[in-house]
Amino acid sequence: MDITVEQPGSRDAERADGSRPSGRPPLTERRKAETRLAIAHEAVRLFAEHGVAATSGEDIARAAGISPRTLWRYFPSKEECVRPLLSAGLESAARRLRELPAGRPLREGLQAGVPSAAERADVSSALLRLIRLLPDEPGLRAVWLRVHHDAERVFTEVIAARTGADPDGLVPRLKAVMLNGALRVAAEEWARRSAEADQAAGDEAFRRAVLQATESLDI
């Protein structure tokens, strides 16, 4: 379910079966998730305004209203602060694919587009700004690549389950990685076209890329 790697601050996320460890209050959990997202938004804003290099961890912490020590407990590096925004679309895509009725081609679960996948408008607009930062910011690009890399495992499992193939086999992994790369390009294209033209053009570009990829992969 959860694509992001375990953060030191979220010691007890939900288990695979949905139960919570002892009696962990969802209130605290929710507040922590909000803090995570607030940090991400502030980080993107500062990165966009001054660049990554000129933004210190202390700056981000101050903007988010927490101490630097707490910031490092939420994220292992300042670049990683933007991860919640970058991974939102992929998590949503993975969820859709899992819930897709058997027999339907995977592309049906992927053509919803980025903005509807992000679900919240502020997330979507922050994501747009963020993706436009990627070409000039190698550190953020690295996070973008890592986020997608983390998603490969999930896609592999989904594809294997759907085609009845061995999840550790070569073909499902190959298709998953290729699909994943296509989703990355599609998202980048979405951001480019959304900024150049309008949102509809961005969505259209996303859909076209997904279709092209899923057809050639036959999924």
Q: Is 58 in the site for DNA (CB under 7 A)?
A: yes
Other beta carbons within 10 Å of 11: 9
- Residue count at the site for DNA (CB under 7 A)? 27
Q: Is 6 in the site for DNA (CB under 7 A)?
A: no
Residue 180 contact partner, candidates DNA, a copy of itself, none, CB within 5 to 8 A by sort of partner: a copy of itself
Q: Is 56 in the site for DNA (CB under 7 A)?
A: yes
CB-nearer residue toward DNA: 52 or 126: 52
Residue 218 contact partner, candidates a copy of itself, DNA, none, CB within 5 to 8 A by sort of partner: a copy of itself
Residues engaged in binding a copy of itself (CB under 8 A): 138, 141-142, 145-146, 149, 170-171, 173-174, 177-178, 180-182, 184-185, 189, 205, 208-209, 212-213, 216-218
Residues engaged in binding DNA (CB under 7 A): 9, 11-12, 22-23, 25, 27-28, 31-32, 35, 55-58, 66-70, 72-74, 76-79
